[in-house]
Amino acid sequence: MTQVDIPLSEDIRAAVAAEWGIRGEGERLSGGGESAAYRVGEVVVRIGGLDRDPAEVQWCNGIAVAAGAVDEVVAPLARADGSTVAVVHGRPVTVWPLVDGQWVDVDDPVQVAEAATLLARVHRTLADHRPPPRPRPGFLEVGLDGTPSTELPDPELDRWLAEFTRTARVQPLHGDYSEANLLAHDGHVTALLDWDAALIGPPEVELASAALEFADEFGQDPTAARHFVATYHAAGGTASPLDDRTRTQLMRHRLRREAAYFTLTVARGAEHDEDDLAYHHERLTAFHRLRL
């Protein structure tokens, strides 16, 4: 997917200098989804889209700050008033510590195991945190109550989700725990980034989603997914034990949400290359393959 074109304008640089005391030219960094990230000295300045609610960004940042007791968690830097978001011409601007590293290698069993244990520690740290309600539902939150989806409609999955969430215990979650948001250095996981999708939800939802990302990307290796879940539980994660049906139904929820987001990005004019399209079709196939 092409990067969004959001410049580090003079006004944004002036706001960063005034609110955080950071000055300097910016170097555009890759990634960021619908935001843009620039390295300025030893920090990263992130600039959100015009449609991103600053209150939502502040809420998500609050979850990151609450998780900051975990060494690998990268939390936003505060302004003088204690908040973490400035708004410049309608765009939310945040500042984060710069962390060196490479994306986690999902083919490295050591890094995959460390990803599972890190998720357990993050969940334990956030288990007793009680933030106010999220300003609007998070990415993984939509449809969890069984509300039918126009994307990959599946009434049986809807009914299952409604019953599952009716009694599930909820807590703050990262919301997008994947290799795209984890960094490694010298073969070990060192940083957890990007809390934009944070939400309040059952930890089982995030655990199943992470098992999909790190162990069973296309729904073909349940043994690896079971091992990821077992590693998480051995590290004291807060999610309840997952049987195969629960794990796969929650994986399918994640895949359906991805499909809905892909359709949204196309409607917004995003351009996808052949690799993006091939990955999307593989994930759609996984949604159907995992149906029990």
**And the tokens for 251?**
């994986």
Q: What is the pLDDT of residue 267?
A: 86
Ordered alpha helix ranges (H), 235-273: 244-267
Measured CA to CA, the distance from residue 193 to residue 118 in angstroms comes to 12
Measured CA to CA, the distance from residue 127 to residue 55 in angstroms comes to 22
Measured CA to CA, the distance from residue 252 to residue 246 in angstroms comes to 10
Measure Cα distances from 144 to 174, 242, 252, 280 in Å: 16, 17, 11, 22
Measured CA to CA, the distance from residue 59 to residue 66 in angstroms comes to 11
**Contact (Cβ atoms closer than 8 angstroms) between residue 43 and residue 74:** no
Domains of the chain, earliest start first: 10-97 (3.30.200.20), 102-289 (3.90.1200.10)
Measured CA to CA, the distance from residue 59 to residue 55 in angstroms comes to 6
- Which residue ranges in the chain fall short of pLDDT 50? 1
SS3 at position 45: strand
Ordered alpha helix ranges (H), 90-215: 109-126, 155-167, 203-215
For CA atoms 72, 74, 78, 83, the dihedral sign is: negative
Q: Which helix (H) or strand (E) holds 17?
A: helix 10-20
Question: What pTM, to 2 d.p., does this model score?
Answer: 0.94
